[in-house]
């Protein structure tokens, strides 16, 4: 190798190391315990730390959502080796998803919308074709869940072709509010001609709004995107990865009311 090539190689390595050492991440959300090895302090929301900072994970389930303005979002997870003191993994976050919006026109689309883990920010409205699932006094949807070992059935509100699921009205028994779980197992039924048909089972996630707003505030502050549509896409991707499938219209309305975005 000639002297010129040696100098070029040294320059590239040196530049790469400087780039890594200058890469800082802002913490959006911490799940489980993570500690900075040098300072022994716990990682908390809003922290800014360098990629080279050694981390200690409390257990194999500990992780954190972080963001860098240039590189984007990442999930920090424990080392693959299983050594919780080894170098952490920086896993690129999930990309944009196709969040459900628009009219649901068949049973398969309805099932796919809710199946799995479904995020509800206070209230969602889902448009459903009247020709497939008419909604009126005798034909309607209802949700079923368990509370203290008792099955609770809740008729869901609707407005024309929009099915409405509202957290506040969902969690009442005999007119009195009950504790609202962060995550709840639900069964969605459709009743018509006095016959109930199970549409699907899913896990409903109801985030704590102050925590959610704090997370999304950091996300929006660090995002390089500028348009409302881009912000909605990024927020939906974050919510899908950390909470559950979001309803894009639900997210839009929440961003407009809480952050004044449009």
Looking at the fold, whether 87 and 149 belong to one and the same domain comes out as no
Q: How many domains does the chain have?
A: 2
Position 191 in a domain: yes
Per-position pLDDT tens, the chain of length 262: 554 443 433 333 343 444 445 699 999 999 999 999 999 999 999 999 999 999 999 999 999 999 999 999 999 999 877 677 667 899 999 876 655 567 999 999 999 999 999 999 999 999 999 999 999 999 999 999 999 999 999 999 999 999 999 999 999 988 899 998 878 899 999 999 999 999 999 999 999 999 999 999 999 999 988 899 999 999 999 999 999 999 999 999 999 999 999 8
Q: What is the chain's alpha carbon radius of gyration, rounded to the nearest angstrom?
A: 23
Q: What is the pLDDT of residue 180?
A: 85
Looking at the fold, whether 82 and 134 belong to one and the same domain comes out as no
Domain range spanning residue 21?
3-92
Q: What is the pLDDT of residue 158?
A: 97
Decide if 28 contacts 65 (C-beta within 8 A): yes
Q: What is the pLDDT of residue 17?
A: 40
Q: How far is CA 54 from the centre of its chain?
A: 27
Looking at the fold, whether 81 and 143 belong to one and the same domain comes out as no
How far is residue 148's CA from residue 130's CA, in Å, rounded to a whole number? 35
Q: Residues for the chain: how many in total?
A: 262
Position 245 in a domain: no
Position 138 in a domain: yes
Identify the domain boundary among 171, 203, 235. 203
Looking at the fold, whether 138 and 192 belong to one and the same domain comes out as yes
Q: What is the pLDDT of residue 15?
A: 39
Looking at the fold, whether 81 and 142 belong to one and the same domain comes out as no
Position 74 in a domain: yes
Q: What is the pLDDT of residue 98?
A: 58
Cβ-based burial of 1 (10 A; exposed 0-12, middle 13-18, buried ≥19): exposed
Short-list 188, 226, 51, 58, CA closest to 110: 188
pTM here is 0.86
Looking at the fold, whether 74 and 139 belong to one and the same domain comes out as no
Looking at the fold, whether 9 and 81 belong to one and the same domain comes out as yes
Position 48 in a domain: yes
Looking at the fold, whether 85 and 147 belong to one and the same domain comes out as no
Looking at the fold, whether 27 and 82 belong to one and the same domain comes out as yes
Looking at the fold, whether 137 and 59 belong to one and the same domain comes out as no
Position 35 in a domain: yes
Looking at the fold, whether 146 and 88 belong to one and the same domain comes out as no
Identify the domain boundary among 155, 181, 203. 203
Position 155 in a domain: yes
Sheet containing strand 72-77, edge to edge, reads 48-50, 24-31, 63-68, 72-77, 89-92
Identify the domain boundary among 69, 92, 115. 92
Decide if 219 contacts 134 (C-beta within 8 A): no
């Amino acid at each position: 190798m000639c002297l010129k090539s040696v100098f070029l190689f040294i320059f590239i390595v040196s530049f790469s190391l400087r780039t890594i050492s200058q890469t800082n991440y802002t913490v959006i959300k911490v799940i489980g315990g993570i500690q900075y090895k040098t300072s022994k302090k716990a990682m908390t929301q809003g922290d800014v730390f360098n990629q080279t900072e050694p981390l200690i994970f409390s257990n194999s389930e500990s992780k954190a959502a972080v963001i860098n303005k240039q590189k984007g979002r990442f999930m920090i997870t424990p080392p693959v080796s299983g050594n919780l003191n080894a170098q952490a993994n920086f896993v690129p976050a999930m990309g944009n998803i196709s969040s459900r919006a628009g009219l649901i026109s068949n049973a398969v689309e309805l099932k796919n919308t809710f199946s799995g883990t479904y995020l509800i920010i206070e209230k969602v409205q889902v448009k459903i074709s009247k020709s497939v699932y008419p909604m009126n006094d005798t034909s309607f949807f209802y949700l079923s869940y368990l509370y203290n070992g008792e099955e609770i059935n809740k008729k869901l509100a609707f407005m024309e072709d929009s099915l409405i699921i509202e957290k506040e009205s969902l969690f009442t028994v005999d007119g009195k509010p009950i504790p609202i779980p962060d995550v709840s197992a639900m069964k969605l039924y459709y009743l018509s001609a006095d016959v109930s048909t199970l549409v699907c089972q899913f896990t409903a996630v109801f985030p704590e709004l102050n925590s959610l707003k704090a997370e999304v505030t950091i996300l929006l502050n660090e995002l390089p995107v500028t348009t409302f549509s881009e912000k909605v896409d990024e927020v939906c991707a974050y919510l899908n990865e950390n909470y559950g499938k979001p309803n894009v219209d639900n997210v839009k309305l929440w961003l407009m009311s809480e952050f004044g975005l449009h």
